[in-house]
Amino acid sequence: MQRKAIIGILALALAAPMALAAEKSPWLHIKVIEGGEGGETVRVNIPLSLAEAVLPLVEIEMFHHGKLDLSELINEVGDMEIDIRGILEAVRKTGDAELVNIQGDDQTVRVTKSGDFLVVKVTDKGGKETVDVRLPLKVVDALISGEEDELDLIAGVRALGESGGGDLVTVQDGDESVRIWVDYKNSME
Amino acid sequence: MSSRGRLILGIVLGSLFVATTSVVAYTAASFHLTGTIAVEVMERDGNHISLKLPAAVVPVVLSLVPDKCLREAAREMQPWWPAARAAIQEIVNLPETTFVEVEGDDEHVRVGIRDGHFFVMVDSEDESIHISFPTGILKSVLKKLEGVNPELQTAHPRTLHSSYHNDPSI
């Protein structure tokens, strides 16, 4: 009896850290439902640790050491100088507020600050198509933490993992939908 | 042949057998590969192919592949090597999961990890193809390729340019 109890305690002691490690590891999930006849459903589950490990070692054109070089893109835009860091700093200092509201002929775009999140909502006039983006400000900070003309994707991924999870992007267009979110489960179920 | 001759021949053949099996067993054991490589193809018209091999044969099979072929493969993979190595080291430690699943009207594709095995399953109206192998094989292949091409161990990511940017006609 005593032996069984010792084995049980040992098993728990070994299993608990593994279970906790699995629980705490953030995963990025993407679900795309393509509507209509013959439409496919695509599900992707990627551990953020994998992205964090691989991104620094991928070198493709504008992407080096996990950083996306935007200088070429900025040059193409022209001489217009936009102080993204300054804008974000100002946004952080303001309370919850609507920052942008564009009422177009066929759609509405709203950008708001809600708590620690930057929320973008695009709705078409018929209400058929909606796009919701909910980005933690910490992730935005991390993305622009490097040099002026680059996005630090590794820092962004790390910040995303520390942000506690939740929906990042949801798109609904009739019977088609896209959802991108982070949580601590290794599957969608 | 005299009884003494038969005895010597027996000892020599026995020693050769023990030496050969020991080398094979040592090679297999040194990679600690357990599990099964399974390939199953089921066609709707009734054809059924099923292949199951112990993963321990992989190091032995790899040792039979000419180094020249492995060096060529390693050379082609070199730009992606650091990323591939990092990805494999992460993947072998992941819990069970389905990385990608595509579900259509007439086809269902799944890629993931289950019971320490990497799997690819394609089920369509015409056939089902299921392939699985222990994730440890990836490390074993990695080790072998680095063995024949030591440069890979210190390989740095090399910038890759797409054909779009290299094509002067665009």
Q: Which helix (H) or strand (E) holds A130?
A: strand A129-136
Over residues B158-165, mean pLDDT: 40
Shortest alpha-carbon distance between residue B28 and chain A (Å)? 28
pLDDT bin (cut points 50, 70, 90) of residue A43 is very high
SS (H, E, C) chain B: CCHHHHHHHHHHHHHHHHHHHHHHHHHHHHCCCCCEEEEEEEECCCCEEEEEEECCHHHHHHHHCCHHHHHHHHHHHHHHHHHHHHHHHHHCCCCCEEEEEEECCCEEEEEEEECCEEEEEEEECCEEEEEEEECHHHHHHHHHHHHHCHHHHHCCCCCECCHHHHCCCC
Q: Mutating which of A23, A25, A45 best tests the B interface, going by the most B Cβ atoms within 10 A?
A: A45
Selection from A133, A87, A130, A86 nearest residue A114 by Cα = A133
The pair of structure tokens assigned to A103 is 């009422």
Shortest alpha-carbon distance between residue B160 and chain A (Å)? 5
Answer yes or no: do A61 and B160 touch at CB < 8 A: yes
Shortest alpha-carbon distance between residue A43 and chain B (Å)? 5
pLDDT bin (cut points 50, 70, 90) of residue B17 is low
pLDDT at A108: 92
Chain A residues 13-42 with a CB less than 8 Å from chain B: 22, 27, 37-42
**Contacting residues of A for B91, CB less than 8 Å apart:** 50
| pTM score of the predicted model | 0.73
pLDDT at B73: 85
**Contacting residues of A for B97, CB less than 8 Å apart:** 27, 45, 47, 186-187
Pair B110, B100: CB distance under 8 Å: yes
pLDDT above 70 coverage of chain A, percent: 83
pLDDT at A21 over 50: no
Q: Which of B99, B157, B165 sits opposite A58 (nearest CB)?
A: B157
pLDDT bin (cut points 50, 70, 90) of residue B165 is very low
Selection from A41, A56, A26, A25 nearest residue B100 by Cα = A41
pLDDT at B70: 85
pLDDT bin (cut points 50, 70, 90) of residue B162 is very low
Q: Return the domain boundaries, chain B.
A: 1-34, 35-165
- B38-54: b (≥16 Cβ within 10 Å) or e: eeeeeeeeeeeeeeeee
State in Å, rounded, how far the first CA of chain A is from the last one: 38
pLDDT at A12: 41
Distance of alpha carbon B42 from the chain centroid: 22
pLDDT bin (cut points 50, 70, 90) of residue A112 is very high
pLDDT at A17 over 80: no
Lowest mean pLDDT among A59-73, A114-128, A146-160: A59-73
State in Å, rounded, how far the first CA of chain B is from the last one: 81
pLDDT at B27: 52
Q: What are phi and psi of A172, to 5 degrees?
A: -125, 120
Say if B164 is an interface residue toward chain A (CB within 8 Å): no
Q: Which of B82, B97, B162 sits opposite A57 (nearest CB)?
A: B82
Higher pLDDT, B12 or A36: A36
pLDDT at B86 over 50: yes
Answer yes or no: do B99 and A64 touch at CB < 8 A: no
Residue of B nearest to A61 (CA): B161
Answer yes or no: do A50 and B90 touch at CB < 8 A: yes
Over residues A10-33, mean pLDDT: 64
Lowest mean pLDDT among A89-93, A95-99, B119-123: A89-93
**Contacting residues of A for B78, CB less than 8 Å apart:** none
Q: What are phi and psi of A123, to 5 degrees?
A: -130, 135
pLDDT at B3: 66
Lowest mean pLDDT among A89-93, B18-22, B165-169: B165-169
**Contacting residues of A for B100, CB less than 8 Å apart:** 42-45
pLDDT at B164 over 50: no
pLDDT at A155: 93
Q: Return the domain boundaries, chain A.
A: 26-183
The pair of structure tokens assigned to A100 is 């942008």
Residues B64 and B27: their CA atoms lie apart, in Å, by: 12
